[in-house]
């Protein structure tokens, strides 16, 4: 019976280790679903690695080879699938998931070595610990939490560096201790295990928490900007309104003098009055500058457009929104990334229009299926590289915006983006497939 259990343990152990590692890795990558083939191949490779690692005679190799190689494999998978672009973040996640995968079993082994138990009990406890590790990993996966802090880590290089170094350091420490454990110079300590766990958790949660905090701050700032924009918009509407009232007043006067001119049949009087009214009405009457936003159902989109309108207004770019039917796309509602995409496109349009002679940006929203942003520009652009990461026509810019837009569009099957560059106009056309 014991023999069977022992062999069973030897065979299943690497399986557990590899699957736990994969589960953690995918959880850390933001609930990324690997394809079946990838999962099978990766777990087979990890299985073989762990199997080989455990069968080495030398304790040093046994301790360090498997863990190092499995980090390498995880890293390779993540890199090949290009889930996230930053290699350092990938390495961090790979080493953290390997640390997490080994932790439960390490803890159990420490406990059993401190409280000496019969070999039979220890083997069954090993098995139980493996199952517990799987359950733990799966539970965390269940939480469906948005882990993804890649953009945050990308922005904070130093923090990433520290996290990466500490996770690699822990990994090395762990390997060293495992080596001492194997040559029986070290009997294990609960304190070390708890210390390790808390550091791992810190590595995971510190960026998550500070990311959340940053997002919250962003939201508050954005709210302020929106408030300011809508306030100044109201102000502009008010000034327009008072202009209209003045005009209404004038208009009555002009009509009266016209009537007088007609009564006295004085043609020159009539003519001069008439032309003055025409001139005046051209000055004051319908101004296309007033945004036609009542047709936009999405409040967030509306406030985004308002904010950009204000930006354009400050840069003396005329910003028009043309929309003549109710615009409401369910697919993109409350999709924060979509607002960011539109924001990037509008920012680009405004900045490019600023340099042109005739500074105009026009946004057309038609029939719930197209958003077109047209801006004036100085020259025809080379479209073959605009979406390339790091390409920017502006100085001191990272060239990140359009690349982000392109990635977003590629991820969404129901959105197409077409870019048209003419001599004096630059057009971004976004088409939606309404289902």
Partner 1 sequence: MNYYLLEDNLIQQRRIQHIIANCLVFDQPMALLDALKADQSAKVILLDLEIRTVENVGLNVAKMIRQFDTMSQIIIVTTHSEMIEQGLKYHIGMIDFIDKAQSDSLFTKRLLSAITAAEQQIRMQNGTQSELIRLPNGQKSESLYLNDIVYMTSNQSQSHQLTVCCEQKSIQIRTTVKSLPDLHQNFIQIHAAYVVNKSKVSAFDAKKRTVQLHNGVLLPCARKYLKSTRQLFEI
Site residues (vs partner 1, CB under 8 A): 275, 278, 281-282, 286-288, 320, 322, 324, 360, 362, 364, 372, 374, 380-389, 391, 403, 406, 410, 413-414, 416-423, 427, 431, 433
CA distances (Å), 381 to each of 211, 375, 377, 420, in order? 36, 13, 9, 9
H-run or E-run covering 338: helix 336-355
- Phi, psi angles (nearest 5°) of residue 124: -70, -35
Count of residues for the chain? Answer: 435
CB of 267 to partner 1, least distance (A): 15
- Token couple for 313: 């207004």
CB of 314 to partner 1, least distance (A): 21
Q: Between vectors from CA 413 to CA 410 and to CA 416, what angle results, nearest 5°?
A: 70
CB of 220 to partner 1, least distance (A): 35
- Residue 67: is it exposed, middle or buried by C-beta count within 10 angstroms (0-12/13-18/19+)? buried
Check if the beta carbon of residue 373 is closer than 8 Å to that of residue 345: yes
Q: Which is nearer to partner 1, 93 or 426 (CB)?
A: 426
CB of 372 to partner 1, least distance (A): 6
Closest C-alpha to 363, from 352, 350, 354 = 350
Q: Which is nearer to partner 1, 48 or 431 (CB)?
A: 431
- Phi, psi angles (nearest 5°) of residue 147: -75, -35
Q: Which is nearer to partner 1, 235 or 324 (CB)?
A: 324
Q: Which is nearer to partner 1, 265 or 413 (CB)?
A: 413
CB of 320 to partner 1, least distance (A): 5
Q: Which is nearer to partner 1, 214 or 269 (CB)?
A: 269
Closest C-alpha to 9, from 112, 125, 108 = 125
Q: Which is nearer to partner 1, 269 or 370 (CB)?
A: 370
Interatomic CA distance for residues 292 and 308, integer angstroms: 14
CB of 403 to partner 1, least distance (A): 7
Q: Which is nearer to partner 1, 39 or 427 (CB)?
A: 427
CA distances (Å), 346 to each of 52, 364, 385, 391, 434, in order? 56, 12, 19, 18, 23
- Token couple for 213: 């905090």
CB of 405 to partner 1, least distance (A): 12
* Three-state SS at 314: helix
CB of 324 to partner 1, least distance (A): 7
Q: How far apart are the first and last CA of the chain?
A: 61
Q: Which is nearer to partner 1, 99 or 430 (CB)?
A: 430
Interatomic CA distance for residues 425 and 431, integer angstroms: 19
């Amino acid at each position: 019976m014991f023999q069977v259990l022992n062999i069973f343990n030897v065979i299943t152990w690497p399986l557990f280790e590899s699957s736990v590692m994969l589960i953690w890795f995918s959880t850390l990558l933001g609930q990324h679903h690997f394809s079946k083939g990838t999962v099978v191949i990766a777990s087979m490779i990890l299985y073989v690695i762990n199997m080989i690692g455990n069968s080495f005679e030398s304790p040093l190799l046994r301790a360090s080879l498997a863990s190092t190689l499995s980090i390498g494999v995880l890293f390779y998978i993540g890199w090949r699938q290009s889930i996230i672009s930053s290699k350092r973040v990938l390495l961090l996640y790979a080493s953290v998931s390997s640390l997490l995968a080994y932790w439960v079993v390490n803890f159990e082994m420490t406990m059993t070595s401190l409280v000496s138990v019969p070999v039979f009990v220890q083997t069954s406890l090993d098995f139980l610990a493996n199952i517990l590790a799987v359950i733990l990993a799966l539970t965390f996966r269940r939480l469906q939490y948005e882990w993804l802090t890649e953009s945050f880590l990308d922005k904070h290089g130093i923090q990433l560096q520290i996290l990466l170094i500490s996770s690699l350091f822990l990994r090395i420490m762990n390997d060293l201790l495992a080596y001492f454990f194997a040559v029986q110079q070290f009997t294990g300590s609960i304190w070390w295990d708890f210390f390790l766990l808390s550091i791992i958790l810190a590595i995971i949660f510190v960026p998550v928490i500070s990311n959340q905090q940053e997002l919250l701050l962003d939201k508050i700032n954005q709210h302020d900007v929106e408030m300011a924009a809508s306030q100044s918009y109201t102000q502009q509407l008010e000034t327009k309104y008072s202009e209209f009232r003045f005009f209404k007043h004038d208009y009555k006067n002009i009509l009266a003098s016209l009537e007088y001119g007609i009564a006295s049949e004085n043609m020159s009087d009539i003519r001069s009055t008439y032309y003055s009214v025409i001139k005046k009405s051209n000055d004051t009457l319908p101004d296309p500058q007033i945004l036609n936003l009542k047709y936009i159902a999405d409040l967030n989109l509306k406030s985004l457009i308002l904010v950009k309108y204000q930006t354009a207004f400050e840069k003396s770019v005329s910003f028009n929104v043309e929309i003549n039917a109710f615009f409401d796309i369910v697919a993109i509602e409350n999709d924060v990334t979509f607002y960011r995409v539109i924001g990037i496109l509008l920012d680009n349009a405004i900045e490019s229009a600023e340099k042109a002679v005739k500074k105009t940006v026009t946004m057309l929203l038609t029939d719930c299926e197209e958003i077109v942003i047209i801006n004036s520009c100085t020259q025809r652009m080379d479209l073959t590289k605009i979406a390339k990461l790091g390409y920017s026509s502006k100085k001191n810019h990272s060239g990140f915006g359009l690349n982000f837009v392109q990635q977003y569009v590629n991820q969404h099957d129901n959105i197409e983006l077409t870019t048209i560059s003419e001599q004096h106009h630059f057009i971004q056309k976004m088409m939606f497939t309404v289902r």
